[in-house]
Structure 1
Amino acid sequence: MTAVKVRLAQGTPCWVSLTTSDHEGAMAFYGALLGWEYGPGPTPLGAYVRALSGGAKVAGIGVTPPGTSHSVGWTTYFAVDSADEVTQRVHECGGTVAMGPLQAERAGRLTIAADLTGSVFGLWQGEEHLGWEVTGEPGAPVWHELLTPDEPSATAFYQAVFGPVLTPGEDGTTRLLVDGCPVAEIRSTTEGRGWRVHFGTADCELTARRAEELGGRVVQEPHDTPQGRMARLADPQGGRFCVLQVG
């Protein structure tokens, strides 16, 4: 378990947020699956709650804004020192900005952007809300990976935008390092694209079966990975995420 009490270094994943077409349904699903409870969050874009695991903030669930084409899905946010400056670098590096920078009340400043292949990610300049308060345990985020058809271009893009150190992984991936610690990875694939959020679980098989009982589905059965036992799941509204066995 890692408790987070300070602003994370720029380029570090610091928050995950689900945009969904069924706010109440998503809250019920993840509450039953991951043991989450909920507290209020900023609402500049509509209904939004913060998910709590053991009383610690770990994620957000918001409703799809009216009149937008944003699909159901999880977004990984990266800590930045200045949302305005890093948003400008996204433009300069050939990415696109869908929203922001905008102020999320007193919580902080955010931007929603996409890289060169259209993979969506967020920028978060924390003020009153620095990000998640715990990682590496069941119910909390534990890992992040980008699936991309063009790993060299993705690597160059995130290096230029955030300034992290990138290093080859043992399994042919590229690891993003911040202050010498791996925070995420980039993996080349022709099957799908985008950032994948991994939540911790004490039992990967049990969580996968429970997701089906709650109306979700198993996209990829539990299997062994370099990070541990993992399964890819989808919630009843179609939002995809992964669970990774920890502990």
Structure 2
Amino acid sequence: MKITEPAPGAPCWVELGTSDPAAAKQFYGELFGWRAETDPRPEAGGYTTLLLGEAPVAALTPLYTPGQPTAWQVSFAVADTDETVAALGALGGSVLMEPTEVFDLGRFAVVADPAGAVFSLWQARAFRGAAVLNEPGALGWVELATRDTGGAKEFYPRIFGWSVTSGEDYTQWGLAGRDFGGMLAMGEQFPAEVPPYWMPYFAVADVDLTAERAVALGASVMLPPVEMLGGPHLSVIRDAQGAAFGIYLARE
């Protein structure tokens, strides 16, 4: 990721909604060295910030609604959540949670693109988002998996002003050429019942050792460590509750 701090249109935060917050705290704490701080206020609903040292890098929550899957959710920074929601709706997107104030921290909404990939919008006030990006233990890349790559190339640049760099097999998203994410076409290897989704990748110092450690902690490896042609060394993992995430080698 060439974005080093939250910026309008760029990924700024990731949250894990999980069926077992206690197990998730232990797993990710041991895997990435994260420290968990749960907001004690009843109205916070068990919201837990995950810190790398003193820097907030992610969060986890219980599942709030029936049928909500255990999954990571990517947030993108916006200047105005309400205006972005309106623009998104006009382009065929949908709103799953209307814009809501989060204490004095910011304004939040959960939305989906026209193909159904869910993500969230964050209008910062007291809280900007991840304090560290693209360092071991922190968010470093986000990836959209979708069956409608053409529609995504139309939709997201109009919503966020992204630049689009299309290769033969992969598309990269960026802001003024500063790439922060990509898009994967969902082919036959994806079961028909799997919906489009956004997935975070976290930077690590050693992909192979981190994948081995994840398995020892109860996770499963969906994509074994691989050196992508012309790209990073990476792996995709599913935690014991079913949430998928990627890891990749952090480079200086």
The TM-score, its normalising length taken from structure 1, stands at 0.92
Give per-residue Cα distances to partners, 1:91-132, cap 9 Å, x unaligned.
111111111201111111111111111111110111111010
Give per-residue Cα distances to partners, 1:150-205, cap 9 Å, x unaligned.
11101111112112222324x53222221331121222222443112100111111
**2:57 corresponds to:** 58
The residue matched to 1:158 in structure 2 has which SS?
A: helix
Are residues 1:94 and 2:92 paired?
Answer: yes
Give per-residue Cα distances to partners, 1:32-57, cap 9 Å, x unaligned.
11110123458756211111112211
Shifted more, 154-163 versus 122-131: the winner is 154-163
CA separation of 1:230 and 1:105: change in aligned 2, threshold 3 A: same
**1:242 corresponds to:** 246
**1:177 corresponds to:** 174
The 1-side partners of 2:182 and 2:128 are apart by 22
**1:220 corresponds to:** 223
Unaligned 5+ runs, structure 2: 191-195
Supply the AA of the counterpart residue of 1:218.
V
CA separation of 1:2 and 1:150: change in aligned 2, threshold 3 A: closer
Residue 103 (structure 2) aligned to one of 65, 90, 105: 105
The residue matched to 2:9 in structure 1 has which SS?
A: coil
How many residues get paired? 243
Q: How does 1:151-190 map to 2 (within 5 A)?
A: 151-169=149-167, 171-190=168-187
CA separation of 1:217 and 1:130: change in aligned 2, threshold 3 A: same
**2:127 corresponds to:** 129
The 2-side partners of 1:138 and 1:209 are apart by 16
Spell out structure 1 runs of 4+ moving beyond 3 A. Answer: 1-5, 40-45
Shifted more, 33-42 versus 106-115: the winner is 33-42
Supply the AA of the counterpart residue of 1:236.
A
Supply the AA of the counterpart residue of 1:213.
A
Residue 233 (structure 2) aligned to one of 229, 233, 236: 229
Q: Percent identity?
A: 34
CA-atom RMSD in angstroms: 2.0
Are residues 1:46 and 2:45 paired?
Answer: yes
**2:147 corresponds to:** 149
The 2-side partners of 1:53 and 1:94 are apart by 37
Supply the AA of the counterpart residue of 1:46.
G
Question: Does the Cα contact within 8 Å between 2:9 and 2:175 map onto a contact in 1?
Answer: yes
Unaligned 5+ runs, structure 1: none
The 2-side partners of 1:107 and 1:3 are apart by 22
Shifted more, 129-138 versus 221-230: the winner is 221-230
Question: Does the Cα contact within 8 Å between 2:3 and 2:180 map onto a contact in 1?
Answer: no
The 2-side partners of 1:167 and 1:173 are apart by 9
Question: Does the Cα contact within 8 Å between 1:4 and 1:132 map onto a contact in 2?
Answer: no
Shift of 1:20: 0.5
Shifted more, 41-50 versus 23-32: the winner is 41-50
Supply the AA of the counterpart residue of 1:238.
G
**1:211 corresponds to:** 214
Give per-residue Cα distances to partners, 1:55-89, cap 9 Å, x unaligned.
21110111111x43211000110000000000111
CA separation of 1:71 and 1:44: change in aligned 2, threshold 3 A: farther
Question: Does the Cα contact within 8 Å between 1:13 and 1:79 map onto a contact in 2?
Answer: yes
